[in-house]
């Protein structure tokens, strides 16, 4: 079930002065592909600091930006990476996986019949009893009341809004994901994230 905080919101980058990074656990690392674009916008591609440092030592990534915070070992003092880029490009498939999360993301976490973001479920636009399949093109996000109201009927039979679900491309889904920046955005990530919404100062 998805709450109202997932509705599109403005991105806000925290300045260095506001940075809560007093401990390594509060310092996630933004992961970029080899072309310096995020591996994913939603969820944003973040690694724990330990994973990022391990990738550095395995020579799988380049460090792009660092936090001011350092970690120490008997033989090493190292700043925690805040942004890293993969050395080998990860190619995304043309189409995303058909998953619960991706269907909700495609539909902007809204009921496709009434626009509510509460109590989301799935609806077979053409009911299974009428031959409807469980595919991108026949599954729509629906709130529980609309799903109950529609029952085993088509939207037309139930006198509800017509919906036409699509199979999104991976690029389209990433574009949708830009509308949902996380609550935490570090200042050093600013140059590597491209939100299609106004940013707060």
* Residue among 176, 168, 114 at smallest CA distance from 141: 114
> Residue 30: CB partners within 8 Å, gap ≥ 6?
38, 44, 45, 46, 82, 83, 84, 186, 189, 192, 193
String of DSSP letters for 58-90: TT-EEEEEEEEEEEEETTEEEEEEEEEEESS--
pLDDT, tens digit (0-9, with 9 covering 90-100), for 162-175: 999 999 999 999 98
For residues 77 and 109, state if they share a domain. no
For residues 48 and 115, state if they share a domain. no
Is the distance from CB of 108 to CB of 120 less than 8 angstroms?
no
- Residue 173 falls inside a structural domain: no
For residues 64 and 120, state if they share a domain. no
Print burial letters for 173-196: b (CB count within 10 Å at least 16), e (below 16): bbebbbbbbeebbbebbeebbeee
Domain hosting residue 65, numbered range: 18-93+181-190
- Averaged over 72-84, what is the pLDDT? 88
For residues 60 and 113, state if they share a domain. no
Is the distance from CB of 138 to CB of 165 less than 8 angstroms?
yes
More confident residue, 4 or 137: 137
Taking the C-alpha atoms of residue 113 and residue 121, their distance in angstroms, rounded to an integer, is 12
Q: What is the mean pLDDT of the chain?
A: 87
pLDDT of residue 6: 45
% of the chain beyond a pLDDT of 70: 86
pLDDT, tens digit (0-9, with 9 covering 90-100), for 174-185: 988 888 877 778
For residues 161 and 108, state if they share a domain. yes
For residues 154 and 110, state if they share a domain. yes
pTM: 0.76
- Residue 197 falls inside a structural domain: no
- What tokens does 81 get? 């990476």
For residues 128 and 162, state if they share a domain. yes
- CATH code, domain with 156: 1.10.30.50
pLDDT, tens digit (0-9, with 9 covering 90-100), for 138-166: 999 999 999 999 999 999 999 999 999 99
């Amino acid at each position: 079930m998805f709450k109202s905080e997932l509705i599109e919101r403005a991105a806000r980058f925290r300045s260095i002065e506001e940075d809560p990074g007093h401990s390594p656990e509060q310092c996630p690392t933004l992961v970029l592909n080899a072309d310096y674009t995020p591996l994913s916008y939603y969820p944003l591609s973040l690694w724990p600091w330990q994973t990022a440092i391990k990738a550095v030592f395995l020579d799988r990534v380049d460090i792009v930006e660092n936090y001011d915070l350092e970690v120490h070992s008997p033989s090493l003092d190292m700043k925690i990476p805040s942004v890293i880029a993969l050395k080998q490009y990860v190619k995304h498939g043309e189409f995303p996986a058909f998953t619960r999360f991706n269907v909700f993301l495609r539909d902007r976490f809204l009921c496709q019949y009434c626009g509510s973001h509460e109590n989301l479920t799935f609806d077979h636009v053409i009911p299974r009893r009428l031959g409807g399949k469980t595919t991108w093109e026949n599954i729509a996000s629906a709130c529980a009341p609309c799903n109950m109201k529609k029952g085993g009927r088509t939207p037309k039979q139930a006198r509800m809004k017509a919906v036409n679900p699509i199979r999104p491309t991976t690029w389209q889904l990433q574009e949708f994901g830009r509308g949902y920046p996380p609550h935490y955005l570090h200042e050093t990530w600013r140059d590597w994230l491209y939100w299609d919404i106004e940013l707060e100062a």
